[in-house]
Amino acid sequence: MRNSYSSEFKLKAASMVLDEGLSVPEVCASLSVGPTALRRWVEQVRQERQGSTPVRAKAITADQREIQQLKALLRQKDRDIEILKNRLPGVPRPIGLETLRSTLIPLDSGRWLFGG
């Protein structure tokens, strides 16, 4: 079975090579990881520090993880907008808070009158 490592572990292992100057074989021996995996993590951390994450890779650094989360949220919002744009004819448009506020008239009693 394949081992699964956390992003924090991968970052620490790659940092040992990139920042502390240890060799790949030294880090592999001390952490019990394979050299191919470690070299892949080191290369990915190098790329992420330069501002990019390999396609289809889960980000290792915190900044790149946040960017991936924000991009996913943006994609979801874009899909939501397309769904609302392409709704079936005759289906009422969802009423937003601003639409609701513009059709309500405040009364002195603290209640609201619908002015639509």
Sequential pLDDT tens for the chain (116 residues)? 778 999 999 999 999 999 999 999 999 999 999 999 999 999 999 999 998 888 888 999 999 999 999 999 999 999 888 887 777 677 666 666 556 556 666 677 667 666 55
The answer to whether residue 55 sits within a structural domain is yes
The answer to whether residue 98 sits within a structural domain is no
Q: State residue 82's pLDDT score.
A: 84
The answer to whether residue 23 sits within a structural domain is yes
Provide the whole-model pTM.
Answer: 0.63
Q: State residue 107's pLDDT score.
A: 73
The answer to whether residue 114 sits within a structural domain is no
The answer to whether residue 78 sits within a structural domain is yes
Give the CATH number for residue 47.
1.10.10
Domain of 21 in residue numbering reads as 7-88
List, in sequence order, every residue forming a beta bridge with 104; answer none if it has no partner.
114
The answer to whether residue 24 sits within a structural domain is yes
Q: Where are the alpha helices (DSSP H) in the chain?
A: 7-18, 24-31, 35-49, 62-85, 97-103
